[in-house]
Structure 1
Amino acid sequence: SKKQLALLRLNVGFIFQAHNLMMFLNARKNVRLSLELHEEYYSENMDQIADDMLNKVGLGDRADYFPAKLSGGQRQRVAIARALVSKPKILLGDEPTAALDKESGRAVVKLMQELAKEQQTTIIMVTHDNKILDVADRIIIVEEGRLANEQQEEAFLKKMKSSDH
């Protein structure tokens, strides 16, 4: 039903390739948006909860900054804060490191992993970024719309480990 679907959506966080921040809202208000979807936060200080999450992603001093004044990595960390602040059961990431350099991309994924473990959130991430594969607990390879078999996965992972990708 529509009600069940709405309840399901409240337990899923999203991080997009393009951060999809509201450019007319500062970092605090972008994170707070996620809380405003959940009735259980209405009686709480949502600004403080948003600020606490921004501190966790290393942007406590940037709460009043608008996205245009943040770097790509900082914007993506605001997006992570927004996705995780309401403690979803599942976090879906669509190429969350695509617009970032190697170091920023790795830092973003490690941060997602740390916060998700802390909150007991499962991350499902789609990526073409081979440099972050070692962070995953499990890797599922899809080629040409089909799941790879075990031998194909093992061959791919062996190739990645032996090359400089």
Structure 2
Amino acid sequence: MTTENTATTPPPWHAAYPAPRNSPATISREEVLDMIKRSVETSTSDYVLVDLRRNDHEGGTIRTSINLPAQSLHPSIPTLYALFKSAGARKVIWYCGSSTGRGSRATAWFADYIEDQKDEEMKSLALAGGVKGWAKAGDEYVQQMIEYDASVWSKY
């Protein structure tokens, strides 16, 4: 008696949601660092940093970021938009490890929602290079991280 292997690979988590309509826009880490410095100097900011990592949320995160794992993001977009809008956020900056998977997908989904609201003031942006690029960019960037662990970043 032979047994066939009928196990299949489950679809990726994001397959349950519609493909984004928009291409993700990006923002450089230099621009984000300047924004963080300005917000410290002025005690005001018009941006939100969102760390999309879940299981790989180690090694530290960029100061002032909130953690919203990508796998639970899509159904929360209307609520997040309302919260960010009422807080006066003009830029929502998403990132994951490299910002090429979860980061770019979240950026595009949120941009779709902003477009549907006919909001021309708020922008959805992916942090170019993600947190890996940030952590490897030097001391000035590492100083803007909390729970930084150099041993995690030395693997990359």
Please give the TM-score of this superposition, normalised by the length of structure 1.
0.29
Higher relative contact order structure (alpha carbons within 8 Å, sequence separation ≥ 6): 2
Select the structure that is richer in helix.
1
Structure ranking higher in strand proportion: 2
